Amino acid sequence: MAARLPLLATLLAAARDVFGDLPGTLRSFWFIGLLLIVIVEVPMLFLSDYVGKHVLPELKQQVAEASAQVTTPTGAKPGEIKPSDEIPNLPKSVLARNPSTMWVVLLGLGLNTVQMLLLFRFMVGWYRRLLVGEGKGKTISLRLAKPEWQLMWTSVKVAFAFLPVALAIFVVITFANPTGDPNALPAFNIWPYLVVIGVVALYLQARLALAYPITCMEGTDAPVRQSWNLTRRQAIRIALGNLLTVIPLMLGIGLLFLGLSWILANLFSVPENGEEAVAMAVRLVLKSLSVFSMLFLVAGLSAFHARSISLRGSVSFFLRKGPSALRRA
């Protein structure tokens, strides 16, 4: 029978990994965080500004033009016509008439891809620091080598495991609102079904969470299967650990955002001729804070999973036995 995970001890050890040496943690984070801000968030900021100023007004104008060309059905009042009845192929026609929209979508997807690659690099560097002491006290550098690509493939396999959850959500919503009208009342109360689906998702996430640290160790095969075996009879404790890691971090991040937003809104003087520049600067500050908040959130969960990998609240068992212990799991 597998040893029970000492939940409180594991959570405290993970917290020490992240906050016990806060200057060292920030030293590990800063370079990846800076790349995320410069390469992803700043372009996203200008892209969203461009969409708000140019793309959305064009789309609204095209919708208005298409609506004006619609003939009211016989016996129907104008207010009774649904948008889906008026313009059945509106999204497709609008995209065809506005090719810049497609470029915006592709650019956004490209930036999101770069963001994911940087996050994978961060996770590999952070996991290997926690598990084998690699690069401890040093900055996580930019590198896309075998461990990073293996972690990407592991994330794809984990995502496939969640396909039934996504399908179940789709089925519930479809049967609750078969017409697809956003203003229609659902045919039944969907919340009990969504709660059950959420519990299943938490269970799956707990059973598969250790696949990520196992992958980052290299030399191990079938990390998803190994995670499933290692977490046998431990899913409830790991799920609780995930929640007890995420909730305090999210509360702290939320309070930090509220405090900073209040300071910027009440104490920051805006020049009369520089409102747009100041607004952009404020958004950049908040975006930068969100980047490092995301890194701390990932680091907290990763530390908990790394500390859980031996199911004893310590990585010493795993380090002593090595990858062969996982292959026998």
Q: What's the pLDDT tens digit per position in 241-251?
A: 999 999 999 99
Q: Residue 209 corresponds to which tokens in the numbers above?
A: 């969470």
* pLDDT at residue 323, rounded to an integer: 45
Return d(Cα 85, Cα 107) in angstroms, integer. 32
pTM of the model: 0.78
Distances (CA, A) of 48 to 24, 45, 88, 98, 301: 34, 5, 28, 17, 30
Kindly give, in sequence order, each residue whose CB lies less than 8 Å from that of residue 139, ignoring residues fewer than 6 positions away: 27, 28, 30, 31
Residue 155 burial class via C-beta count within 10 angstroms: exposed 0-12, middle 13-18, buried 19 and up: middle
Q: Residue 224 corresponds to which tokens in the numbers above?
A: 């998803």
Q: Which residues of the chain have pLDDT under 70?
A: 1-3, 59, 62-100, 180-181, 218-220, 267-277, 310-329
* pLDDT at residue 12, rounded to an integer: 92
* pLDDT at residue 86, rounded to an integer: 43
Tell me the per-residue pLDDT of 108-146, one tens digit each, with 9 for 90 and over. 899 999 999 999 999 999 998 888 888 787 889 888 888
Query: What amino acid is encoded at 191 in this protein?
Result: W
* pLDDT at residue 69, rounded to an integer: 60
Return phi, psi of residue 181, to 5°: -80, 120
* pLDDT at residue 82, rounded to an integer: 47
* pLDDT at residue 89, rounded to an integer: 47
* pLDDT at residue 98, rounded to an integer: 58
Q: Residue 292 corresponds to which tokens in the numbers above?
A: 């490092």
Report whether 162 contacts 53 (CB < 8 A). no
Query: What amino acid is encoded at 114 in this protein?
Result: V
Report whether 62 contacts 98 (CB < 8 A). yes
* pLDDT at residue 207, rounded to an integer: 93
Nearest residue to 235 (alpha-carbon basis) of 191, 205, 198:
205
For CA atoms 290, 295, 296, 298, the dihedral sign is: positive
Residues in the chain: 329
**Residue that the structure tokens 């029970």 belong to:** 4
| 42: Cα within 13 Å, side-chain hemisphere | 8
